[in-house]
Amino acid sequence: MLDIKDFSFFEKQNSFDFKAFLIKTGSYWKWFLFGLGFALFVAHQINIRKQKIYALEATLAVKEQENPLFMSNTNLIFNWGGTSDQVQRIASTLKSRSHNELVVDKLGFYIDYLQEDKYYQKDVYGSAPFEVKLDKSKNQLLGIPIEIHFVSPTDYEISIAVKSNSVPVINYNTNIIDAQAVRSGDFRKRCKVGQPLQLPFLNWTLDIKGMPGNYTGQKFIIRMNSFDNVVSMYRNVRVVIDEKAGSIIRISLQGTNKARIVDYLNESVQMLKKKQLESKNLFAENTIKYIDTTLALMEENLKSANNDLKDFSKGRNVVEIEKRGETYQAQIQDLDLIKDGIDRKINYYNVLNNYLRNSNDYSKLPAPSVAGIDDPNIIKNVAQLIDLSVRRSEMTYSVKSALMYNNIDNEISAVKRVLLENIVAAKSAIQFEAAQVNRKIRASENKIESLPEDSQDYLRITRKFNLSNSVIDAYLQKRNEAQIVKAANLSDVEFIDPAKDIGGGLIGPRTGVNYVIAIFAGLLIPLLVVFLIFFINNSIQNAEDISALTNIPLIGVIGVKYTSSNLAVFEKPKSALSESFRALRSSLQFLYKKQKKEGSKTLMLTSSVSGEGKTFCSINIATVFAISEKKTVIVGLDLRKPKIFDDFNLKNKIGVVNYLIGQNSLDEIIQNTKIPYLDVITSGPIPPNPSELIMGETMREFMEELKNRYDYVILDTPPVGLVTDAVELAPFADVTLYIMRQNFTKKEMVQLINTRVQRDELSNVSIVLNGFENKARYGTGYGYGYGYGYGYGNYSNGYHEDDRPKNLFEKLKDKLFKRNK
């Protein structure tokens, strides 16, 4: 049946003990010191082995540059798009494969110029005293380092470590990678500066740059890389459109060589300006090509008419003939020019219609104005169609999204539909105008028929000649306009800040950040380990743990034993450990006085389990009583596991068991020790029924007889957590000491003693914390009976001996002090 005392209403709630955790953490200071040192060492090694990383940027603006020569009387329209969609297009172009292929090829950045450093190969592009010019039409060694050693200002030696019977080679013209058969081993060859080197796997000319100074004896490394891989790397250029100014673009690049970054960014922008201007001039170039084709045809007509006129003039009075038809000549010439203009428009509309229906590339369309078309809708839509077609062709290398292709295809289809509708409407209107002109021409031709036959022939020839000549003049004028506009066009991309090395740009490795991370890691990892140990270790650590788990008083804290035997007080009476037992003796005397106990006094020691130092404490408490000249006896009542006799070099042949079964008298079982005033009664042979022996009436007589002979009777009993012997012996004890041991006694064991006390199975119980070592050297050490040793640290010097063995630091310190004396 449950007892009401089983319910521990008065126990404190278990919670996180921050102070105990700090003390525990401080005790592992060596871990933190090692972790911090190791982490800083690793961070330092990482920092010195990493190359410095730089980031530089260039800034450009995108704005529609108006042609200063684009006047109102210029009939061609070449303005290319607007800034609204150009910015995004240019940003995409800067990251496109086609654009970066042009830049990499122009700069030759597939060649690495390297030099061995202490920890890595350093990129020496821009500072190397030479450059190599590859024969791109021939094979070049791919990916294998080529060591160059300058043996003189005019001679160098190449060295290549060939590890197999073939090496990879690349042709940079075709971008084809192949394999070249070679002989494995170290290949060496001496070469001349400025002279072509021709090998099956290497074809270049090495030239010295500028005034390089003394480079004899220096070694460099050249490595040719895959063109596609290099382009892919440079496509990682960062392109940012300014949020506040939408026409401003910033491009930046990271790398280990600032000269390489500067050249690449600036060449990338220059290449962009060139390509953008070419696209902007595309409309004018298409128009010039169209005009040139038409002019070639008209010049043939003009030549034919001129020949006919010469043949007609032979043997005739041309002046007289011309006068007869002069009235009709001017009139019909004007009508012919009008009709030719109408025919050219209709022809352009027909060509445009067929082009839209049968072609997919609209980038080569000529300007409508070349045919005299001034309809703003047609001009605008043709320009937009050319622009969209150019954009789509550029997307081939920069865009992989089918959605974006679909979007631009939809835009092209929409413009085509509108343009086809415009063509139908425009042709309908112009065909009506053509019918009217044809009627006027026929009327004039009817009047001419009334003239003499030679006048009619002359008018027919001059009519053809004048028409061809007038058309040629008109086309030449438009061609000149197109040339002027093309020459005066400006790129819509403008440099604001070119990339430049001004001494900064370092972004990594972040040595300071690495050291900060190392400090945090060096402290955090040991802290986490301690934190884990703190929660995994469920054993008693300090006095605070005990006070948090029970209301039973803690009257003593015993330090760590450094002696070989359990006779610590006897062997080193001036040690700090001995002082802690004397403090415990004082506490016991206070308890006896509080109980008004006179005469002989009994003390029982027990614990939760074996190994907590119960016997050790029994021996040394008895020793401090004996040293004060009090007759003291230690009674070994652990009948199941006797062991108290070993420390006194005694025999365990007879003892308590023999007395309890009536074999020997008290005088026969008492054994004297080498410690004055201290006797020992061992347990004797192990009985089959230890509990029954202890519960018998003989035990009471045994205790009464001991009290009559001794001032202090110390009972060393079995662990109360394992057997009930200690509970049976409790009525014979005036005070019970419950021994707990640091890092050994489990916290859940405290509930056991709480239950025993609550049930009144044990009375007058106090707790002693054994084996305590305050590694942190601060906090709770001196408050629990340490005497002067464990609590006051260095202030105890001179009051007692230090029985603790010296650590490595203390031994080194002693040696240093001895040298200085």
Q: How many CA atoms lie within 13 A of 274 on its CB side?
A: 9
Task: Among 73-87, 175-189, 491-505, 592-606, name the most confident range.
Answer: 175-189
Q: What is the pLDDT of residue 713?
A: 93
Mean pLDDT for the stretch of residues 767-790:
55
Whether pLDDT at 488 is above 90:
no
Question: Which two three-digit tokens encode residue 544?
Answer: 């605070």
State how far the Cα of 712 lies from the Cα of 216, in Å rounded to an integer.
97
Confidence of residue 224 (pLDDT cuts 50, 70, 90): very high
* Burial group, residue 165, by CB count within 10 angstroms (0-12, 13-18, 19+): exposed
Whether pLDDT at 299 is above 60:
yes
Parallel, antiparallel or unpaired: strands 765-772 and 554-559 = parallel
Give the other-Cβ count within 10 Å of 533's Cβ: 12
Phi first, then psi: give them for residue 591, nearest 5 degrees: -65, -40
Q: The tokens 């206070």 sit on which residue?
A: 590
Q: What is the pLDDT of residue 326?
A: 62
CA dihedral 317, 323, 329, 330 (to 10 degrees): 130
Say whether 636 sits in a helix, a strand or coil.
strand
CB 302 within 8 A of CB 474: no
> Domain spanning 547-820 has what CATH number?
3.40.50.300
Q: What is the pLDDT of residue 566?
A: 84
What is the Cα gyration radius of the chain?
55
Q: The tokens 């021996």 sit on which residue?
A: 619
Q: What is the pLDDT of residue 741?
A: 92
Q: What is the pLDDT of residue 796?
A: 45
The amino acid at residue 166 is S
- Beta partners for 601? 712
State how far the Cα of 241 lies from the Cα of 251, in Å rounded to an integer.
9
Q: What is the pLDDT of residue 779?
A: 39
Whether pLDDT at 398 is above 70:
no
Chain segment 422-456, per-residue pLDDT in tens: 888 888 888 777 788 778 777 776 766 667 776 66
CB 491 within 8 A of CB 280: yes
CB 756 within 8 A of CB 764: no
Parallel, antiparallel or unpaired: strands 735-741 and 601-607 = parallel
Q: What is the pLDDT of residue 156?
A: 96
The amino acid at residue 40 is L
Mean pLDDT for the stretch of residues 656-674:
89
Q: Which residues, 6+ apart, have CB-to-CB distance to 509 below 8 Å? A: 46, 47, 50, 52, 53
Bigger pLDDT: 542 or 320?
A: 542
Q: What is the pLDDT of residue 172?
A: 95
CB 260 within 8 A of CB 126: yes
Confidence of residue 27 (pLDDT cuts 50, 70, 90): confident
Predicted model pTM? 0.57
Whether pLDDT at 6 is above 60:
no
Mean pLDDT for the stretch of residues 701-723:
89
Give the other-Cβ count within 10 Å of 548's Cβ: 17
* Burial group, residue 602, by CB count within 10 angstroms (0-12, 13-18, 19+): buried
Write down the domain spans for the chain.
Answer: 22-50+509-536, 287-488, 547-820
Whether pLDDT at 79 is above 50:
no
Mean pLDDT for the stretch of residues 247-252:
92
Q: Which residues, 6+ apart, have CB-to-CB distance to 342 below 8 Å? A: 430, 433, 434, 437
Whether pLDDT at 222 is above 70:
yes
Q: What is the pLDDT of residue 4?
A: 37
CB 93 within 8 A of CB 398: yes
Q: What is the DSSP letter of 199?
A: E
Element of type H or E holding 41: helix 29-49
Mean pLDDT for the stretch of residues 727-744:
88
Bigger pLDDT: 546 or 794?
A: 546
Mean pLDDT for the stretch of residues 175-182:
94
Instruction: Measure the CA angle with vertex 659, ends 656 and 665; round to 5°.
Output: 125
Question: Which two three-digit tokens encode residue 491?
Answer: 């790129």
Q: What is the pLDDT of residue 603?
A: 92
CA-wise closest residue to 231 among 56, 73, 95, 340: 95
Question: Which two three-digit tokens encode residue 478?
Answer: 């438009």
| Helix runs in 108-255, H state only | 227-234
Q: What is the pLDDT of residue 748?
A: 85
Bigger pLDDT: 813 or 735?
A: 735
Whether pLDDT at 801 is above 70:
no
Whether pLDDT at 205 is above 90:
yes
Chain segment 532-541, per-residue pLDDT in tens: 877 777 888 7
Bigger pLDDT: 406 or 317?
A: 406
CA dihedral 191, 194, 198, 202 (to 10 degrees): 80
Parallel, antiparallel or unpaired: strands 146-152 and 219-224 = antiparallel
DSSP output for 218-235: -EEEEEE--HHHHHHHHT
Mean pLDDT for the stretch of residues 406-416:
82
Give the other-Cβ count within 10 Å of 660's Cβ: 23
CA-wise closest residue to 9 among 755, 652, 736, 666: 755
Q: Report in angstroms the alpha-carbon separations of 156 from 113, 150, 199, 219.
A: 15, 4, 16, 10
CA-wise closest residue to 752 among 483, 549, 518, 581: 549
Average pLDDT, the chain: 81
Asked if the peptide bond before residue 509 counts as cis, ω within 30 degrees of 0, the response is yes
